[in-house]
Amino acid sequence: MLAVRRVPVESSVLRDVGYDAARSVLEVGFRNGSVYRYHLVPARVHRELMAAQSPGRYLNREIKPRFPGQEVD
**Predicted confidence (pLDDT) at residue 2 exceeds the cutoff of 80:** no
* Neighbouring C-beta atoms of residue 46, cutoff 10 Å: 20
Whether 26 is covered by a domain: the verdict is yes
Kindly report the pTM of this predicted structure. 0.93
| Contact indicator for 17, 52 with CB cutoff of 8 Å | no
What is the tens place of the pLDDT at every residue in 25-64? 999 999 999 999 999 999 999 999 999 999 999 999 999 9
Whether 15 is covered by a domain: the verdict is yes
pLDDT band at 1 (very low <50, low <70, confident <90, very high): low
Whether 46 is covered by a domain: the verdict is yes
Count: domains in the chain:
1
- Cβ burial of 15 (10 Å; 0-12, 13-18, 19+) is middle
Whether 61 is covered by a domain: the verdict is yes
Range of the domain at 48: 6-72
Whether 25 is covered by a domain: the verdict is yes
Whether 1 is covered by a domain: the verdict is no
